[in-house]
Chains A and B, each alone.
Chain A
């Protein structure tokens, strides 16, 4: 069938509208719907405002103090940017980074703490994830218990573990590593078990059908499917742990944090800025490196 060309007069005039009665009814519906939506949004915003005001009261927010003392921030940053002699830090780099040998060694220690902690926690999370996922669990009870344990070690912040471990294991990097490992186990265990719950069960059933034990099912059915995702999550966690390890020293658990908090408390301004610059550069490099590695891993998975 041939479509007749539209009449010329229509193509230049306005688009045909509905009859006024119908259009009026539709408009009425539209305004009502919009009014309901607006009212809901306003109610939500009102609630938000009320909660904000209450929290501001509880948290002793004092805008006047902020504005009066805002000069402190600029002057603090100014002091960070100047050496003891009053010259700008950039004018004398060797003087600014006078302690670079010690700081780099401590930064290396920080990275090692993060690495060993991630590795330990990651291995534990690997073992726990199969127990904690519904589709691979040995029994309901072990699934429940593992999940609660993971939840606990995820919710308690690592620095709290570090505070307690410092008392049990003594000062130094050991409590820092263990604290990071425990928290990593909780965080990664949850992510890993979610990955395991989303696997294709056919290979697992295949291994089970041909008489494989639980370990064989995990090793040959599940692990090949999840390994690249696991590695990607572990790299992401390592990145976060580098940041976490940098402040472990605040409570005496090794790394560069001890030197940083000492220079902040003793007002060695140029040292503070030098260490901060070092931390920021390291974190950025690690971010960049892990991102590249993750792209390689994801690419491998897409090709497979």
Chain B
């Protein structure tokens, strides 16, 4: 920008020569201004109600700095602890894998019921979709608390919690995939004399299977993250150790566990994108 005359130097001159280009309707300006001030107003109101104060944040950041200092270097201290963390990380992965698989299997028939082009009975379709919404509205941690009451503390409750939370999400995604599928294969099967069931089996399902597979792999990835936290309420996995170490202020252990989680998640990410690529090729969804 050195030396070269910049258009921005004499903006006023250009504005006076081409007034129409720079003119924008006061109406749209007012709308934008109103929306922004409403958003900011709610934000400031929220800060006030939620008891934010400069002093509190300042002190908190200071304490956080001390904590981060105490976290260095990450250290499991003993070999026994390292092995224990490794085992519960394996448990976490198992929970994520099984929970996602079970959810996939259970959500598939529900998705068929919830898809408009499969279920012709409108009322059944509507009710299935609404119940999937209800299941989806409840968080994994809440499901974990409910399942602990049924099968007791331990990783099995975690598997069931991940399953329940994902049935809703999968049901919605799969039924949307079914509805977005191409009509032509279905019409082909119907035109050559196939029944409605056959048109679904041979016309629709082959179209959505790759989408389902890729969603399943993607959710294994994201559930690895969820599975690390359900231990906080006692449903198995590394979360139990993590929350325990945070509560007992063992910061070096905390940072070590967090590093382990980060490494595992990165590994699963790489692995699942490889598999996804191998199964459905570059058109990953």
- A residues near B (Cβ < 8 Å) are 51-52, 54-56, 58-62, 65-66, 69-70, 72-73, 76, 109, 112-113, 115-116, 119, 152, 155-157, 159-160, 163-165, 167-170, 172-175, 177, 210-213, 216, 243-244, 246-247, 250-251, 254, 260-261, 264, 276, 279-280, 283-284, 287
Contacts and interface: CB of A to CB of B under 8 A. Distances in A.
Contacts of B261: 155-156
Given A72-B150, A152-B262, A216-B8, A116 B233 contact: no
Contact of A280 (B8, B50, B59, B134): B134
Contacts of B42: 115
A66 B156 contact: yes
Contacts, number: 178
A269 B249 CA distance: 34
Contacts of B85: none
Given A173-B51, A174-B51, A210 B6 contact: yes
B123 interface: no
Nearest to A71: B150
A153 B97 CA distance: 23
B258 interface: yes
Given A59-B95, A243-B139, A155 B60 contact: no
B56 interface: yes
A70 B152 CA distance: 11
User: Which of B5, B94, B136 has the largest number of chain A CB atoms within 10 A?
Assistant: B94
B228 interface: yes
Contact of A276 (B8, B47, B138): B138
Nearest to B99: A59
B137 A280 contact: yes
What are the 4 A-B residue pairs with the smallest beta carbon separation, nearest first? Answer: A211-B6, A55-B94, A169-B60, A210-B7
B93 A55 contact: yes
Interface of B: 1, 4-9, 39, 42-43, 46-47, 49-52, 56-57, 59-61, 63-64, 67, 90-91, 93-95, 97-98, 101, 133-134, 136-139, 141-142, 145-147, 149-152, 154-156, 158-160, 225-226, 228-229, 232-233, 236, 242-243, 246-247, 249, 254, 258, 261-262, 265-266
B156 A155 contact: no
Classify the secondary structure of B's interface with A: helix
A181 to B, nearest CB: 11
A79 B4 CA distance: 78
Contact of B50 (A51, A113, A164): A113
10 contacts: A52-B101, A59-B236, A65-B156, A69-B151, A72-B149, A155-B261, A156-B258, A159-B141, A168-B61, A168-B67
B156 A112 contact: no
Contacts of A109: 49-50
A155 B260 CA distance: 12
Given A163-B243, A167-B246, A251 B97 contact: no
A245 B213 CA distance: 30
A173 B60 CA distance: 13
A276 B142 contact: yes
Given A169-B63, A211-B6, 14 more contacts: A52-B97, A58-B93, A65-B156, A69-B150, A164-B67, A167-B246, A172-B50, A175-B60, A210-B6, A212-B6, A246-B142, A260-B142, A279-B137, A284-B133
B7 A56 contact: no
Contact of B1 (A115, A165, A170, A211): A211
Contacts of B225: 155, 157
A173 B47 CA distance: 10
B47 A116 contact: yes
Contacts of A169: 56-57, 59-60, 63-64
